[in-house]
């Protein structure tokens, strides 16, 4: 089983995309509508930011969840005892951001969110009628005016050989949100666990966007769409000396959106943030 690469412009793209998601929880969009120049400019600008002392002026706020989280403040994946080997910045339109980076970051945030709305409509369209009827709202409406949709800029520093035993750039985990959109990272390393229990590489191409299901989508579709475990492994050899950057957009519903009989978006989010040590 391999991850499906879907041509966004193909007349059957919506069906191919949702079939890929249903099989493994991941799919890749080629020929997407987002400017590669915009993606490249964001990577260049944020790469510089992670090397500036000014980043300490934007220290992560545990209440607002915006700003810069150093490697010491980084996440520990659920069920994993060692922190990830990364630092990151959480960008929200209403949150803090270096002035020089806000225009391009906001534009990328908006364009990814627009694309995500289309993909959520595809997902709902190809779900069984019983699943569609049980949704509290159309999927694309769940994210409308949400203040929780998050663009994370993650920086994985070069490895030194002194990392804690068992530490990975990103330990195995599932995402919390409805859907994640990831413009191609600057280096390989992302893997997904397939239904046979095998780790497989997520294909990397500068012109592709990787899409994966989050736990909230699994929750509100009664597990019809699976949230799949994934990780970022540590490179070896010369690649270990190189940094890696990624920019996932995590699509979150508004707080009051009902996901299931057990959870609203707010209660689900708080439960998971506690597990990650972010509150």
Kindly provide the residue ranges of all beta strands, DSSP E only, lying in the chain, ordered along the sequence. 5-7, 26-30, 67-69, 87-91, 150-156, 170-173, 179-183, 190-193, 199-201, 209-213, 230-232, 244-246, 249-251
Tell me what the mean pLDDT of segment 4-19 comes to: 97
Cα–Cα dist 164/115, whole Å = 38
Cα–Cα dist 41/48, whole Å = 11
User: Is the confidence at residue 80, as pLDDT, over 80?
Assistant: no
Cα–Cα dist 130/92, whole Å = 34
User: Is the confidence at residue 17, as pLDDT, over 90?
Assistant: yes
Task: Give the 3-state secondary structure of 183-222.
Answer: ECCCCCCEEEECCCCCEEECCCCCCCEEEEECHHHHHHCC
Q: What pTM was estimated for this model as a whole?
A: 0.94
Measured between its terminal Cα atoms, the distance across the chain in Å is 37
Tell me what the mean pLDDT of segment 101-105 comes to: 98
User: Is the confidence at residue 275, as pLDDT, over 90?
Assistant: no
Cα–Cα dist 149/3, whole Å = 25
Following DSSP, what letter does each residue of 161-178 receive, concatenated? S-PPTT--SEEEE--SSS
CA 178 to chain centre: 10
User: Is the confidence at residue 247, as pLDDT, over 90?
Assistant: yes
State residue 279's pLDDT score: 64
The chain-wide mean pLDDT, for the chain, equals 94
pLDDT per residue as tens digits for the range 42-65: 999 999 999 999 999 999 998 888
Tell me if 126 sits within 8 A of 15, measured CB to CB: yes
State residue 241's pLDDT score: 95
Q: Compute φ and ψ for 119, nearest 5 degrees.
A: -65, -35
User: Is the confidence at residue 242, as pLDDT, over 80?
Assistant: yes
Selected residue with higher pLDDT from 82 and 98: 98
Say which residues have a Cβ less than 8 Å from residue 219's Cβ, sequence separation at least 6. Answer: 259, 260, 262, 263, 268
pLDDT band at 277 (very low <50, low <70, confident <90, very high): low
pLDDT band at 270 (very low <50, low <70, confident <90, very high): confident
Tell me what the mean pLDDT of segment 227-244 comes to: 96
Burial 211-224 (b: 16+ CB within 10 A, else e): bbbbbbbbbbbeee
């Amino acid at each position: 089983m391999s991850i499906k690469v879907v041509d966004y412009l193909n007349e059957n793209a919506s069906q191919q995309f949702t079939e890929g998601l249903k099989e493994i929880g991941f799919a890749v969009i080629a020929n997407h509508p987002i400017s590669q120049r915009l993606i490249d400019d964001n990577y260049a600008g944020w790469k510089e930011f992670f090397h500036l002392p000014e980043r300490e002026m934007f220290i992560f706020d545990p209440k607002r969840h915006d700003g810069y989280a150093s490697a010491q403040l980084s996440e520990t994946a659920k069920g994993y005892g060692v922190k990830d080997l990364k630092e990151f910045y959480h960008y929200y339109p209403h949150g803090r951001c270096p002035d020089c980076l806000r225009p391009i970051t906001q534009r990328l945030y908006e364009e990814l969110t627009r694309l995500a709305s289309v993909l959520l409509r595809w997902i709902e369209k190809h779900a069984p009628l019983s699943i569609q009827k049980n949704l509290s709202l159309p999927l694309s409406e769940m994210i409308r005016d949400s203040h929780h949709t998050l663009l994370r800029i993650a920086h994985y520093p070069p490895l030194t050989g002194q990392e804690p035993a068992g530490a990975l750039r990103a330990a195995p985990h599932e995402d919390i949100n409805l859907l994640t959109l990831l413009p191609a990272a600057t280096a390989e390393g992302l893997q997904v666990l397939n239904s046979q229990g095998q780790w497989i590489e997520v294909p990397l191409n500068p012109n592709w966007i990787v899409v994966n299901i989050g736990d909230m989508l699994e929750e509100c579709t009664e597990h019809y769409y699976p949230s799949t475990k994934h990780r970022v492994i540590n490179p070896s050899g010369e690649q270990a000396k190189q940094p890696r950057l990624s920019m996932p957009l995590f699509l979150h519903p508004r707080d009051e959106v009902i996901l299931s009989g057990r959870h609203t978006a707010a209660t689900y989010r708080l439960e998971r943030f506690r597990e990650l040590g972010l509150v």
